[in-house]
Amino acid sequence: MASKYDEVFENRRKTITELIIHNELYVPMKTKEIAILLQIPREKRHELQEVLDSLVADGIIGVSKKGKYGKPENTCLIGIYEATRKGFGFVSVEGMEDDIFVKESDSCNAFHMDKVKVIITKEKSSSRRCEGKILAVIEHQITDLVGTYQKNDNYGFVIPDNGKIDYDIFVPKEKSMGAVSGHKVVCHIVNYGNGKKNPEGQITEIIGHVNDPGTDIMSIVKGYELPVEFPDDVIKSLDNIPDEVDSKDYAGRLDCRNMQTVTIDGEDAKDLDDAITITKNDKIYHLGVHIADVSHYVKENSALDKEAYKRGTSVYLVDRVIPMLPHKLSNGICSLNQGQDRLALSCLMDIDEKGNVVSSKICETVVNIDRRMTYTNVKKILDNDEELCKEYSDFVDMFRLMDELAKILREKRYKRGSIDFDFPETKITLNDKGEPIDIKPYERNTATRIIEDFMLIANETVAEEYFWRELPFLYRSHENPDPEKIQKLGAFINNFGYSIKISETMHPKEIQKLLNKIEGTDEENLIARLTLRSMKRASYTTECVGHFGLSAKYYCHFTSPIRRYPDLFIHRIIKENIHGGLKAKREEHYNKILPEVAKHTSSTERRADDAERDTDKLKMVQYMENHFGEEFTGVISGITSWGIYVELPSTIEGMIRVTDLTDGYYYYDENHYEMVNERTGKTYKLGQTLRVIVSGTDRILRTIDFKIADDNI
């Protein structure tokens, strides 16, 4: 039986609902204005506020950023809903720093990645993010998905590879294309269900059986909708691309063919888009960074250009490369191959012994590469390998000069606060069946750092020149970190005895100091990763806001037009400026399309990163399938309420579930980031070394399970 208070409260809710929702004369008002309208005395306004808060929490009314209450549809926000495996989800709204948490009961049966209308039901506090309720689904953005087919007598189901999609897709027999259990398929969704009824779909493509070589990677490719084959109009347009440079194209270009020029890349690289020349006299280094002139062949709005824009970037998966440009360009006419004339766009810099660029010139050139070098061989030469020094005797002095200048540039960047997250990349070796046979960290060496240093200074020099020219341009930006995230990082590192100075205008030197303090410690890798996660993601922007991580005022991507569309795009602007400057009409044209180019290329970059990460994770899972029951030594890399993450020296990470900690009940102490045994007080801490046994894997979720070995001390 309802209490008197409940009845009064419910009547008040009805009164306010009638006023705000059903009164046509009502205009959005603040609490004080509603109180005056309803003649509620000042001392009882807190009761009105309780009623308003409860109606907002139920999604019956909405409240604007200015605190005015109105119909929910008039105060709602538009965003993208991202589901989680646990039922709840988050809505990201453009322009909002934090996502909006949405309970499963408030999700309005939204599907993962749906565009939705959402209202704020609880404002953000110091301990939690704001909460919301989805009012309606505006648009389903996922129309096709990849999954594993399971056949029954007269129907089947597709189990999505994407773990954030918590529904199996029902497929009638007549829409299955004859798929059998274990087939990886592409499924088109025809009905999204209603929470009680599963979504329904039809098979549009059978990728292959889960046990067939290559099916696993191709499933990820299809899942991310990465374009593999080039369209017919692009293939046809290649007939107009020459195999060799036409001598007519040398006109007006600076001839650099007599300069000693090398490329330095990985052993397997085929798309060579940067080359180096270097000399020194009168204490001035003359550094030339020569970049393939891709824009000479890929004209704006051509079939090639439209496809390159659509792809945004080349994608480097563990067993294949999905190029942005067809091989005839990326490995042919645009690749700076040894002994062949090539067109380039060059950044020629005069740099003093303190690393200052005292003068520079960006110009069209023609180059001819004297040697195609590898990082491995250049490193060996710098380490005085006798045999290689003899083989490349004409180039040894050049490499030593490169090393000399690179160290100067690196030191200058370091002094201004540039942050170097030196995480080892993962090197995965496959056999001819696509099976992983070795996984190990792939460290940068001296030669890779030299090329990085030269590309960085070229990117900075180009960005600074075009900033001061005040022309439309595409910058590579990295904004200052969110102070709130840095505060959380500060609280975390305090547990290890470290501290960090936090301010609204934080300087990257503070991050650099922290990385210096943890260098060589057991917790180095862990704290460095958490520090990286506390920072914002770099993106492409039309405004020059600087690059926090590099502590650079001006930065862009100029050096990789074969594999990145932003580089190709700014090459066009640079070349137009070289050929007489951008006319007002062309400036207007670029200003109009630049924002969308920045947004799109940032998005395709994230897609490529996610696909690359997922293929690596999948191969790690497959590798550990062959090591069930084996022991490994690792380091605790993360602790949550549901388990302990352990990273092995190979870079493979797995989890010990809290339910598998057999020596008593454990709980997560979030204040000290420890897993604690309630009975014995035994703890597991971040950075702690552990012996673990491989106990399980899951290819669908791409997870690895560990158990603690008996021989831990």
Asked if residue 463 and residue 585 are part of one domain, the reply reads: yes
Per-residue pLDDT tens digits for 528-540: 888 888 889 999 9
Strand pairing report for 131-139 and 100-102: parallel
pLDDT of residue 3: 64
What whole-number percentage of the chain has pLDDT above 70?
98
**Residue 420 pLDDT more than 90?**
no
Please state, in angstroms and rounded to a whole number, the distance separating the CA atoms of residues 453 and 287: 12
pLDDT of residue 126: 66
Name residues whose C-beta falls within 8 Å of residue 548's C-beta, 6 or more positions apart in sequence.
Answer: 478, 479, 480, 481, 508, 535, 536
Average pLDDT, the chain: 90
Same domain? For 510 and 600 the reply is yes
Query: In 10 A of CB 32, how many CB atoms?
Result: 13
Cα–Cα dist 295/64, whole Å? 48
Q: Are residues 56 and 81 in the same domain?
A: no
- Please compute the mean of the pLDDT values over residues 599-626 and round it to a whole number: 95
CATH code of residue 159 = 2.40.50.700
- Extract the tokens encoding 238: 């290649």
Do 81 and 59 share a domain, yes or no? no
Whether residues 308 and 329 share a domain: the answer is yes
Do 324 and 402 fall within a single domain? yes
Question: Which of 70, 93, 124 marks a domain boundary?
Answer: 70
Q: Distance from first CA to last CA of the chain, Å, rounded?
A: 60
Order of strands, sheet of 666-669, starting from the edge strand that comes earlier in the sequence: 666-669, 674-677, 683-685
In the chain, how many domains are there? 6
Beta pairing class for 131-139 and 115-122? antiparallel
Range of the domain at 543: 446-611
pLDDT tens-digit profile of 272-325? 999 999 999 989 999 999 999 999 999 999 999 999 999 999 999 998 999 999
Residue 258 and residue 400 in one domain? yes
DSSP 8-state assignment for residue 680: T
For the beta carbon of residue 353, count every other beta carbon within 10 angstroms. 12
**Ramachandran angles phi, psi of 536, nearest 5°:** -75, 165
Kindly state whether residues 283 and 389 are assigned to the same domain. Answer: yes
Q: Is residue 419 part of a domain?
A: no
Task: Evaluate whether residue 411 is within a structural domain.
Answer: no
Residue 429: how many other CB atoms lie within 10 Å: 13
User: Any bridge partners for residue 292, and if so which?
Assistant: 344
Q: Which amino acid is at 142?
A: I
Please state the length of the chain: 713
Tens digits of residue pLDDT in 71-130? 876 667 888 999 887 788 999 888 777 888 998 888 888 889 999 888 887 777 766 788
Same domain, 128 and 176: no
Q: Percentage of residues in the chain with pLDDT exceeding 90?
A: 59
Q: Check residues 593 and 61 and name the one with the higher pLDDT.
A: 593
On the question of pLDDT at 698 being above 50, the answer is yes
Same domain for 328 and 241, yes or no, is yes
The residue that leads in pLDDT, 525 or 433, is 433
DSSP string, 265-312: E-TT-----EEEEEEEETTEEEEEEEEE-GGGTS-TTSHHHHHHHHH-
Q: Is residue 23 part of a domain?
A: yes
pLDDT surpassing 80 at residue 423? no
Q: Based on the domain organization, do 266 and 288 belong to the same domain? A: yes
Q: What are phi and psi of 256, to 5 degrees?
A: -110, 15
Has residue 691 been placed in a domain?
yes
Tally of CB atoms within 10 A around 549? 20
Q: Residue 468 burial by CB count (10 A; 0-12/13-18/19+): exposed, middle or buried?
A: exposed
Q: Which residue has the higher pLDDT, 671 or 364?
A: 364
β-pairing, 643-647 with 653-657?
antiparallel
Q: How far apart are CA 40 and CA 549, in angstroms?
A: 54
Tell me whether residue 101 is in a domain.
Answer: yes
Q: Are 206 and 65 part of one and the same domain?
A: no
CA-CA distance, 191 to 235, in Å (whole number)?
36
Decide if 311 contacts 603 (C-beta within 8 A).
no
Task: Show Cβ contacts of residue 317 under 8 Å, excluding neighbours closer than 6 positions.
Answer: 217, 220, 221, 611, 612, 615
Using the Cα atoms of residue 425, residue 426, residue 427 and residue 430 in order, give the sign of their dihedral.
negative
pLDDT band at residue 1 under the 50/70/90 scheme: very low
Give 167-198 pLDDT, tens digit per residue.
Answer: 899 999 999 999 999 999 999 999 988 777 88
108-117, 354-363, 587-596: segment of lowest average pLDDT: 108-117
Does the residue 428 lie in any domain?
no
User: Per-residue pLDDT tens for 373-394?
Assistant: 999 999 999 999 999 999 999 9
pLDDT of residue 707: 94
Angstrom CA distances, 394 to 143, 287, 330, 399, 494, stand at 59, 18, 29, 10, 53
Which two structure tokens, joined as six digits, stand for 626? 């062959």
- 418 and 512 in contact (C-beta within 8 Å)? yes
Residue 689 belongs to domain with CATH number: 2.40.50.140
Eight-state DSSP code of residue 482: P
Q: Please give the helix or strand (H or E) that residue 440 lies within, else none.
A: strand 436-442
Residue 435 lies in a domain: no
Across the range 350-364, mean pLDDT stands at: 97
Q: Is residue 439 part of a domain?
A: no
The alpha carbon of residue 678 and the mean position of all alpha carbons in its chain are separated, in whole angstroms, by: 39
pLDDT for residue 712 is more than 70: no
Query: What local confidence, expressed as pLDDT, does residue 520 receive?
Result: 80
